């Protein structure tokens, strides 16, 4: 019959039963918070403690809160990188102060997949005379881990400070914006290249967007050249002599200007709306006709001059045009 003196020869070492059925796990390299990876189930007649033998690894073995078991945990603030190390083989030991039992637990990493930009490359056209802030294009980004993605403009060719990007209304969607008053000039630059990068905090995807500038088309006169007449009798200042009609391909706001021959004491002026009116009385006018040379501009292009001949009818030439 054994005595107390040789009792320790009859004790059995701890048995880590949980490693027999589960000796590995797989986690994302994005994981960084403290996470219980495995519960160590140990069979022994004596109290046991477990510890991690591997050093310099982002893991720890410690008692599980509210339990007598020990657990293998990912350490708080762990920084995992699949490309640097895609698996960890952890050496561990459980002891009852008489015997030790070693074990191995393997943690495999799943690589973070990069986000994917949808809808790029792409190009859009814009009129050179645009002045308002304009959303050029909205694109989306798909991230396999459904991570919030950030996107930015990495370069603009030729260099310009007229574009920016901001999140759109939907998740992981972004608007490419042309700022207001960009001062585009077709004759100087006809295409801008915008390089874009989107990042999920670990990996990124890049693409490109092109903005093509369309030349502003000049306004067109619809009723000049022309001839008209005005009576020198019973006229008044502001009387409309002729209404210049025009069209602008981009529907830009236009303004008119003119000069008159002979120029001295010309009785006509043109409003920005295109109406040619009397600016003084022509009662008793002895100049039989004026040639008016009219211009129209949309702020980028100017058309003209186009002529309008105005015959002044008086008692001496009432029937002559």
Could you write out the DSSP letters of every residue in 305-320?
A: EEEEEEEEE-TTTTT-
116-214 and 220-313 share one CATH topology? yes
Residue 178: how many other CB atoms lie within 10 Å: 20
Percent over 90 (pLDDT), the chain: 84
Q: Give 183-231 as a DSSP string.
A: ---TTT-SEEEEEEEEE-SS-EEEEEEEEEEEPPPPPEESS-SEEEEEE
The larger pLDDT score, comparing residue 48 to residue 284, is at 48
- The C-alpha atoms of residue 53 and residue 56 are separated, in whole angstroms, by 10
d(CA 52, CA 62): 9
State both tokens at 92: 């561990």
Model pLDDT, residue 234: 74
- Using the predicted structure, report yes or no on whether residue 247 has a pLDDT greater than 90: yes
Phi, psi of 305 (to 5 degrees): -80, 155
In angstroms, the CA 258 to CA 307 distance is 9
pLDDT digits (tens, 9 = 90+) for 157-172: 999 999 999 999 999 9
Percent of the chain with pLDDT over 70: 95
Note the pLDDT tens digit of each residue in 182-239: 999 999 999 999 999 999 999 999 999 999 999 989 999 999 999 999 998 878 999 9
Other C-beta atoms closer than 10 Å to the C-beta of 183 total 11
d(CA 45, CA 51): 19
In CATH, which of 3.40.50.300, 3.30.565.10, 3.20.20.150, 2.60.40.60 is domain 116-214? Answer: 2.60.40.60
CATH number for the domain whose boundaries are 4-110 = 2.60.40.60
Both tokens of 239, joined, read 């009387």
Cα 200 versus chain centre, distance: 15
Q: At CA 287, angle to CA 286 and CA 291, rounded to 5? A: 160
With a cut of 70, say whether residue 319 has pLDDT above it.
no
d(CA 49, CA 66) in angstroms, rounded, equals 15
Give the start-to-end residue ranges of the domains of the chain: 4-110, 116-214, 220-313
pTM assigned to the model = 0.69
Q: Give the right CATH number for 220-313 from 1.10.10.10, 1.10.1040.10, 3.40.50.150, 2.60.40.60.
A: 2.60.40.60
């Amino acid at each position: 019959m054994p005595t107390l003196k040789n009792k320790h020869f009859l004790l059995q070492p701890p048995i880590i039963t949980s490693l027999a059925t589960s000796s590995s796990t797989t986690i994302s390299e994005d994981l960084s918070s403290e996470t219980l990876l495995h519960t160590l189930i140990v069979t022994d007649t004596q109290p046991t403690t477990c510890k991690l033998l591997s050093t310099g690894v982002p893991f720890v073995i410690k008692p599980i809160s509210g339990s007598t078991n020990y657990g293998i945990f990912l350490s708080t603030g762990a920084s995992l990188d699949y490309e640097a190390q895609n698996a960890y083989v952890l050496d561990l030991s459980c002891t009852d102060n008489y015997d030790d039992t070693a074990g191995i637990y393997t943690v495999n990493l799943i690589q973070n997949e990069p986000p994917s930009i949808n809808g790029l490359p792409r190009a859009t056209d814009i009129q050179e005379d645009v002045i308002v802030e304009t959303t050029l294009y909205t694109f989306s980004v798909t991230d396999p881990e459904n991570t919030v993605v950030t996107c930015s403009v990495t370069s603009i060719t030729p260099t310009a400070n007229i574009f920016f990007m901001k999140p759109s209304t939907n998740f992981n969607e972004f608007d490419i914006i042309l700022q207001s008053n960009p001062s585009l000039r077709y004759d100087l630059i006809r295409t801008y290249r915008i390089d874009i990068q989107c990042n999920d905090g670990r990996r990124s995807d890049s693409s490109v967007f092109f903005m093509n500038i369309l030349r502003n088309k000049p306004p067109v006169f619809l009723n000049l050249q022309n001839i008209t007449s005005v009576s020198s009798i019973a006229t008044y200042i502001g009387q409309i002599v002729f209404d210049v009609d025009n069209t602008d391909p981009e529907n830009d706001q236009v303004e008119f200007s003119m000069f008159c021959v002979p120029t001295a004491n010309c009785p006509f002026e043109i409003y920005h709306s295109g109406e040619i009116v009397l600016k003084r009385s022509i009662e008793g006018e002895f100049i039989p006709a004026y040639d008016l040379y009219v211009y129209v501009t949309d702020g980028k292009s100017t058309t003209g001059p186009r002529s309008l001949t105005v015959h002044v009818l008086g008692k001496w030439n009432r029937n002559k045009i």
